Amino acid sequence: MKKLYVIACAALVLQACATPKVVEVSKVTDEKLSCEELLNEIEEAQHFEQKARDERKVTGKNVAAAVLFWPALLGTYANTEEAIKAAQERRERLKKIYEKKNC
């Protein structure tokens, strides 16, 4: 029972350390966006990707995670991978819509 408690606590800590936001790849309103709005969304997706990549760098938080609870660093790394992939997929989707609309 104690092991189960420790695993549950570790999972919560890992989730709390996973900071980059994972964007939605597809939104219902994507097809209705204007050319300018599509460009803004593409730029925002690039921003989210860069922010996720920045989380992989050596930061005070990552160093503390490595020293105090190294699995938290693994959780952050896994989350950054998911966030980067989602941002890239979102950007590609928006580019296809942009081209489809002949913007």
How far CA 16 is from CA of 21, 72, 75, 84, in Å, comes to 12, 8, 9, 18
Q: Is residue 90 part of a domain?
A: yes
Q: What is the mean pLDDT of residues 80-89?
A: 92
Instruction: From 62, 59, 58, select the one nearest 76 (Cα to Cα).
Output: 62
Tell me which residue range forms the domain holding 53: 33-103
Task: Please choose, from the candidates 33, 28, 50, the residue with its C-alpha nearest in 3D space to the C-alpha of residue 97.
Answer: 33
Domain annotation covers residue 79: yes
Q: Could you give the number of structural domains in the chain?
A: 1
Q: Is residue 14 part of a domain?
A: no
pLDDT tens profile 26-79: 999 999 999 999 999 999 999 999 998 887 776 665 555 555 555 655 566 678
Number of H helices, E strands in the chain: 4, 0
Q: Is the pTM of this model over 0.85?
A: no
Distances (CA, A) of 54 to 47, 50, 59, 80: 10, 6, 9, 9
Amino acid 12: pLDDT: 46
**4 located within any domain:** no
Is residue 9 in some structural domain?
Answer: no
